[in-house]
Structure 1
Amino acid sequence: MGFVPLVEEYRGGVLENVHYGAVSIVDEKGRVLYASGDPQHLTFLRSAAKPFQAIPAMKRRIDEIYGLDGHEAALFAASHRGEAFHIEALESMLRKTGIAEESLHCCATYPLNEDAKAERHRAHEAKRKIFHNCSGKHIGLIALSKHMGWDERTYYSPDHPVQREIVQTLASIAEVPEASIPQGVDGCGLPIFALPLHSIAYSFLKLACPDLIGDADTREAAARMARLMNENPDMIADTRFVCSALLKDSNLSAKGGAKGVYGIGLRKERIGISLKVSDGAEHVWPCIIASILERIEYGNRETIERLYALVPNVIANDGGTEVGERRAVFELKA
């Protein structure tokens, strides 16, 4: 599958675990500059697709039509983790759009954030659909369907106009034939798409540098979505997660997805980065991404330190005692 060791974890000086995967870095023409493992590895974007899935709604200015604030509209592209401020914004979105929570296709669940989940349990609250990390995306797609006069009940179907437009948009941005994009079903029940890693990197570069997008409406919509993500970073994940930590840096567009996939676009450097951890682990994202940024001599050290603060390379036991370490071991080959 073209995977190589990305991160090794040691306990008591003994190698305990190895996380394999692949990394791809591309330039503004989509050419692979550096790679570790196979840059053509076919990868489902999962939630890393959300900024692109939001573009059809942003084209029609659905946020403005329904009077959504910036922190509410940012949830179109979010994998929110259910903190109180997320839920308040989602409830406001439902009121403003006139959408019933029951109409969301995602399942009812509890928040991903452990503190937020515990809070709901203490309050003896039942699972809710807006607790699902994808609920903001679903509200956006239903609101778009409502505005366009499309069937709101079947917005999740691959044959629905909103889903057809999403895959057309992604194909255009990634510069791949639409027919070449495999589709599956994501955890929230919506269609999801697979691209080679280098195409994911190229797509995120265009999200960061929308001047590379040919179509004017798509270019403006991508720029608006990317700006909302940077202006409201804590809405995209939560106060202690990789996506929000990266988006605090105005030079970056970034979004991760389930099973270890991540995409980043760098505005000043005009490069795109993608990675896939083969075992789906997310706790090694900070180690990998920080290491990539260090190796390309990225200028914002604060961003790198913010990643290391999220998941330190020092491994501690349950009592906080240092018992091991985590090392990025991959090479970026030209």
Structure 2
Amino acid sequence: MRFIPLVEEYRGGVLENVNYGAVAVVDEKGKVLYSAGNPEHLTFLRSAAKPFQAIPAMKRRIETVYGLEGREAALFAASHRGEAFHIDALESMLRKTGISEDALHCCATYPLNEDAKALRHQAHEPKRRIFHNCSGKHTGLIALCKHMGWDERTYYDPEHPVQKEIVQTLAYFAEVPEESIPHGVDGCGLPIFALPLYKIGYSFLKLACPDLIEDEETRDAAARMAKLMNEYPDMIADTRFVCSELLKDPNLTAKGGAKGVYGIGLRKERLGISLKVSDGSELVWPCIIASILERLGYDNLETIERLYKLVPNTIVNDGGTEVGERRAVFELQA
């Protein structure tokens, strides 16, 4: 695996915890410019795949077919955390598409956002499928199947036309043979795919800079999906999560996934960034991403400051007293 220390945490001056992982930075030709650890580590994209899983629907302009608002279509690529405005938009999507909530293959659950979860518990509401963070993706895929005349009940099957098109899309973005992509099952029950880490960064660069995409239809779909993500950043996660904070920067396209994987595309710099935290921690994403941007000389200091504000490098105890610090300890090797 060749993971290296990315973040160290100190308490009382004593090293208490280390997060290992790998980082890759690629250029517009897909060449690895900088890395920390193994840039070829085979990595499941998990929810970082959502913008690419949405491309088939965007190619058919499903948002226009069903009269979806921009904030609703943005949920195709979201890992929403179940705040009230997410649920309102999802219920509107179901009404407009004529899809039953029971048709979603993702399980019934409670929101990931703790405040939103508490409100649902206080109201004695049951678990729901649209509370699941992947429900926007599922709704978009079913809407696509409905429009195309494909079987809506088995859209999660790896042999279903929509899933076959998704893996073709990912292979096209990453420029790898389709048969080389390992398949698994994601937390929401849909197929998920693994790529070398640097290929994830390359795919996100194309999402940010769609002029790198040769096929006109795919290029247009990618541009519109990325635009929606930047226009409605809070729909992609919630009001206090790293994806939404990064997407407030119009120069970036970004999406994270479970078990510590993250992808970012930088438009002006024409760079792709990908990272994997080996223990799956998401808490250290802001520290790592801010450090990468600093090492690359990124000039939007406001974005970096938002990341450090989201998860400060100062560690405090339950009473708010400073007790330690978090440090990014990796170097980007040319």
Q: TM-score range by the shorter chain?
A: over 0.9
| Amino acid aligned to 1:4 | I
The residue matched to 1:9 in structure 2 has which SS?
Answer: strand
TM-score (normalizing by structure 2): 1.00
CA drift at 1:193:
0.3
Q: Given the alignment of the two structures, is residue 180 of structure 1 paired with residue 180 of structure 2, yes or no?
A: yes
Q: Given the alignment of the two structures, is residue 74 of structure 1 paired with residue 74 of structure 2, yes or no?
A: yes
TM-score (normalizing by structure 1): 1.00
Q: Equivalent residues in 2 for 1:43-54 (5 A)? A: 43-54=43-54
| Amino acid aligned to 1:238 | D
Hey, what's the Cα distance between the residues in 1 that align with 2:256 and 2:148?
29
Hey, what's the Cα distance between the residues in 2 that align with 1:176 and 1:215?
16
| Amino acid aligned to 2:228 | L
Q: Given the alignment of the two structures, is residue 282 of structure 1 paired with residue 274 of structure 2, yes or no?
A: no
When the two chains are superposed, the root-mean-square deviation of aligned CA atoms in Å is 0.3
Hey, what's the Cα distance between the residues in 1 that align with 2:106 and 2:305?
35
CA drift at 1:82:
0.1
Hey, what's the Cα distance between the residues in 2 that align with 1:187 and 1:2?
26
| Amino acid aligned to 1:93 | M
Partner of 1:7: 7
Q: Given the alignment of the two structures, is residue 34 of structure 1 paired with residue 34 of structure 2, yes or no?
A: yes
Hey, what's the Cα distance between the residues in 1 that align with 2:213 and 2:153?
32
Partner of 1:146: 146
The residue matched to 1:82 in structure 2 has which SS?
Answer: coil
CA drift at 1:2:
1.2
The residue matched to 1:283 in structure 2 has which SS?
Answer: coil
| Amino acid aligned to 1:187 | G
Instruction: Describe the superposition over 1:62-107 as per-residue Cα deviations: whole angstroms up to 9, x where unpaired.
Output: 0000000000000000000000000000000000000000000000
Partner of 1:103: 103
Q: Given the alignment of the two structures, is residue 312 of structure 1 paired with residue 312 of structure 2, yes or no?
A: yes
CA drift at 1:243:
0.1
The residue matched to 1:330 in structure 2 has which SS?
Answer: coil
| Amino acid aligned to 2:133 | N
Partner of 2:124: 124
The residue matched to 1:269 in structure 2 has which SS?
Answer: coil
Partner of 1:251: 251
| Amino acid aligned to 2:15 | L
| Amino acid aligned to 2:100 | A
The residue matched to 1:133 in structure 2 has which SS?
Answer: coil
Hey, what's the Cα distance between the residues in 2 that align with 1:283 and 1:105?
28
Q: Equivalent residues in 2 for 1:207-246 (5 A)? A: 207-246=207-246
Instruction: Describe the superposition over 1:171-211 as per-residue Cα deviations: whole angstroms up to 9, x where unpaired.
Output: 01100000000000000000000000110000000000000
Instruction: Describe the superposition over 1:288-324 as per-residue Cα deviations: whole angstroms up to 9, x where unpaired.
Output: 0000000101010000000001100000001000000
Q: Given the alignment of the two structures, is residue 89 of structure 1 paired with residue 89 of structure 2, yes or no?
A: yes
* Count of residues in Structure 1 that have an aligned counterpart in Structure 2: 334
Partner of 1:162: 162
Hey, what's the Cα distance between the residues in 2 that align with 1:126 and 1:13?
46
| Amino acid aligned to 2:129 | K
Hey, what's the Cα distance between the residues in 2 that align with 1:327 and 1:319?
22
Partner of 1:17: 17
The residue matched to 1:35 in structure 2 has which SS?
Answer: strand
Share of identical aligned residues, percent?
Answer: 84
| Amino acid aligned to 1:143 | A
The residue matched to 1:25 in structure 2 has which SS?
Answer: strand
The residue matched to 1:255 in structure 2 has which SS?
Answer: strand
Hey, what's the Cα distance between the residues in 1 that align with 2:245 and 2:237?
9
Partner of 2:294: 294
CA drift at 1:214:
1.1
Partner of 2:198: 198
The residue matched to 1:107 in structure 2 has which SS?
Answer: coil
Unmatched 5+ residue regions in structure 1? none
The residue matched to 1:176 in structure 2 has which SS?
Answer: coil
The residue matched to 1:124 in structure 2 has which SS?
Answer: coil
